[in-house]
Structure 1
Amino acid sequence: MIDHASEMAAFVRVVDSRGFSAASSSLGLTPSAVSKLVTRLETRLGVRLLQRTTRALHLTAEGEVFHAAARRILAEIETLENQVSGQGSTPQGLLRVTTSLAFSTHQLTPVLPEFLARYPLVRLELLPTDRIVDMIEEGMDVALRIGRLADTSFMARKIGEDRRLICAAPSYLARHGAPGRPEDLARHNCILSRERGALNRWQFRIDGEILTIDVTGRLAVDEGELQLQLAVQGLGIVRLTRLTVAQAVRSGALVPLLDAFSADDPVAIHAVYPHRRHLAPRVTAFVNFLIEKFTPPPWEI
């Protein structure tokens, strides 16, 4: 009888490990045995899934489709086996999470040691990125999304809210002074977004009315973490999410400015995951852990 699951698992592990040697170690097989499983799979399907060179492996178009589907199937098999074997209530197995670079760096990474210590049978893969990840296509279990949720076909649990904060380093303020009112920004050097022009239009509430100011400056970058580092070095005034700047503000590296004039509405942060009839315990445990650690939000200043 052909063991389709073993072939599928070998193929997925080779892709995820980026090579046969690494995959063989985690599967407890020899590299040649793993290679035979993948070759047998390709022969049975009648298509090439991997382009092999001496230095790298590349998925073919068919391989990309098969890899995404195989991930989902293997996850369902693992969930089913855990339920039948009585281990369904124990968080275990591979948990794949994606979130923004800022949230990953400043909020999620610091609490992960506690989560992994609490659930020693869970393995974690973290994908920090500011692009919108197709959770199904890329096999993600949980995505932490900031802002409006576009896809209502997923489950979502709110873990907090965030707003932007204007701030600058004490060294910058010592040289240029602090703006007392939003209009004073016209004479200040602000750190700009290079491609997202809307982020360079800062809104304020003055006497019950909304005032929009197009700020200017000598530095323009797109990555929030780089904007943060430039601001800490005293190179200008920056407007970033509180979850990004909270630690720098608490340490005194940055000083909040003009917060009394803020017109920003709170933006929700959700843990998003696909609808599943039998949700893996590791997903439930992770989402509950996030709510525990981020209620109230540690980035509130």
Structure 2
Amino acid sequence: MDHYSQMLAFVWATEHGSFSAAARANGLTPSAISKLISRLEDRLHVRLFQRGTRSLTLTEEGSAYLVSARGVMHAMAEADSLAQAFPDRVSGSLRIHTMTTFAKHQILPWLPDFLSAYPGLTVDLQAGPQYVDLFEQGLDIAIHSGGLPDSSRVARKIGESAWITCASADYLARRGTPNTPMDLLKHDCFTFGFQSAWNTWQFRAGERGVCTVPIVPKAVFAQGDLLREMALRGAGIVKLAQFHIGADLQQGRLIPLLTDFSLPHKEPIYLIHANRKHLSPRIRVFRDFLEQRLKESPWG
């Protein structure tokens, strides 16, 4: 039962002097007002009005209840006023989970500017290689790439990134450059140490075919940055996301390999949040800030 509606009907009736006048002023029928007040009196076990043919008179109990009811309505109006200001108020804590490499290479470079723009906001940035649904534990945003499990979460595509097979110039000078995908079997390669589609090294074979090279890694690592470091040190060949090593490729620290055999597929990157409606200001401003920075990147 809606106790607030009953109390509201009571206050309206006292302000307008009759059920019919209260009903007209608020788009209801007199019988609806009468029923709400009758339910209120039944719930309170007191009579609030002395009902006359032309007017209403408050009982002693009604007068006392009116004071409290107006206080509640004032508090409700104040709460609504504060809530209506929330869309323009960016404050509180924003909890984010994303890939370690994405956090390091695509968020940290501009995060100081974001925090300066929203001084009332604090950020809790958590990182891990794979998507985990932590929204029931208070997570606000997840940013991950690749396929996502079916769920009620809202996933917004914010970019896409190719996966690049690459090595350093020093390694290629020492060991030679692979000319076909199967040449990779003669080279030192490194992969992730957990089960992932990222460990599947696929290339174009013919006009429409795809071949998978059965890479036997010399070593495996839990984080993409460790794979990157091995490649930069000239230790071998890796396959990493373009958003991760884009600057290394542009500046020649890493050399893309087998580009004639590259598949056109790019992996989508998603920003995930819990609900479609009533997106909080802190999520909205972070999303907009991130999307603008990705537009400015060469791969975004």
- Name the TM tier (shorter chain): 0.5 to 0.7
Instruction: Give the TM-score taking structure 2 as reference length.
Output: 0.67
Confirm or deny that 1:117 pairs with 2:133.
Answer: no
Mean Cα deviation higher: 247-256 or 266-275: 247-256
Residue 160 of structure 2 is aligned to residue 180 of structure 1:
no
Q: CA deviation at 1:269?
A: 0.8
- 1:91 CA displacement: 1.6
Tell me the CA shift for residue 240 of structure 1.
Answer: 1.0
Greater shift, 228-237 or 116-125, is seen at: 116-125
2:229 counterpart SS class:
helix
Q: Which has the larger radius of gyration?
A: 2
TM-score, normalised with respect to structure 1: 0.67
- Structure 1 segments, 4+ long, off by >6 Å, are none
Residues 131 and 142 in structure 2, CA contact (< 8 A), matched pair in contact too: no
Unaligned runs of 5+ residues in structure 1 are 1-79
* Structure 2 counterpart SS, 1:98: strand
Deviations 1:194-238 (A, max 9, x none): 343765442111321212111234223232111111111001010
- Deviation by residue 1:4-59 (Cα, 9 ceiling, x = unmatched): xxxxxxxxxxxxxxxxxxxxxxxxxxxxxxxxxxxxxxxxxxxxxxxxxxxxxxxx
- Identity within the alignment, %: 35
Amino acid at match of 1:182: P
Contact 2:91 2:282 in 1 (8 A): yes
Contact 2:160–2:268 (CA<8 Å) still a contact in 1? yes
Q: How big is the shift at 1:83?
A: 4.1
Aligned equivalents of 1:131, 1:245: Cα separation in 2: 19
Whole-angstrom distance in 1 between the partners of 2:221 and 2:161:
22
Structure 2 stretches lacking a partner, 5+ long: 1-78
Alignment CA distance shift 1:152-1:220 (3 Å): closer
Relative to structure 1, is the Cα distance of residues 93 and 155 closer, same or farther in structure 2, using a 3 angstrom cutoff?
same
CA distance in 2, matches of 1:241, 1:299: 10
Q: Structure 1 residues 222 and 95, CA, compared in 2 at 3 Å: closer, same or farther?
A: closer
The 3 A distance-change label for structure 1 pair 87 and 284 is same
* Counterpart residue type for residue 251 of structure 1: Q
Contact 1:95 1:125 in 2 (8 A): yes
Which whole-Å CA distance do the structure 2 matches of 1:131 and 1:81 have between them? 40
1:20 maps to what in 2? Answer: none
Name the Cα RMSD after superposition.
Answer: 2.3
Equivalent pair of 1:160/1:297 in contact (CA under 8 Å): no
CA shift digits 1:77-131 (9 cap, x unpaired): xxx7884373431222211111111111111111211211222221111111124
In 2, distance between residues paired with 1:259 and 1:122?
43
Q: How much has 1:252 moved relative to structure 2?
A: 1.9
Partner of 2:191: 192
Mean alpha-carbon deviation: is it higher for 145-154 or for 82-91?
82-91
Distance 1:201 1:214 in 2: 8
Match of 2:68 in 1: none
**Cα offsets for 1:226-262 (capped at 9, x unmatched):** 1111111001010111111112222322111112211
* Secondary structure, counterpart of 1:132 in structure 2: coil
| Whole-Å separation in 2 of the counterparts to 1:261 and 1:120 | 48
